[in-house]
Structure 1
Amino acid sequence: MKLTAFAGIATLATTMLVSGLVLAQSSGPVKSLRGTEVEAERPAPELYQQQEGREVRNYRQQPPVIPHSMDQYQIDLRTNQCLTCHDWTNAGDRGAPTLSMTHYLDREGNQLDTVAGTRWFCNQCHVPQADAPALIGNTFGSASQ
Structure 2
Amino acid sequence: MNISTIAGAAALAAALVAGGLVAAQTAGPVKSLRGAEVTSTLPAEPVHQQQEGREARNYRQQPPIIPHSMDHYQIDKRTNQCLGCHDWTVAGERGAPTLSMTHYLDRDGNQLDTVAGTRWFCNQCHVPQANAPALVGNSFAPSNAPR
Smaller-chain TM-score range?
0.7 to 0.9
TM-score, length-normalised on structure 1?
0.74
Is there any run of 5+ residues in structure 2 with no aligned partner, and where? 1-15
Determine if contact 2:85/2:94 at 8 Å carries over to the other structure: yes
CA deviation profile, 1:3-28 (whole Å, cap 9, x unmatched): xxxxxxxxxxxxxxx9xxx9xx8xx8
When the two chains are superposed, the root-mean-square deviation of aligned CA atoms in Å is 2.6
Give the number of aligned pairs.
Answer: 127
2:10 aligned partner = none
Residue 37 of structure 1 and its aligned partner are, at CA, apart by 5.0
Partner Cα distance (2:67, 2:44) in 1:
25
TM-score, length-normalised on structure 2?
0.73
Q: Confirm whether residue 79 of structure 1 aligns to residue 83 of structure 2.
A: no
Letter in 2 for 1:76: D
Q: Confirm whether residue 93 of structure 1 aligns to residue 93 of structure 2.
A: yes
Partner Cα distance (2:96, 2:46) in 1:
30
DSSP 3-state at the match of 2:103: helix
DSSP 3-state at the match of 1:126: coil
Q: How much identity, in percent, do the aligned residues show? A: 75
CA 1:93–1:135: 2 relative to 1, 3 Å:
same
Partner Cα distance (2:101, 2:33) in 1:
43
Is there any run of 5+ residues in structure 1 with no aligned partner, and where? 1-17
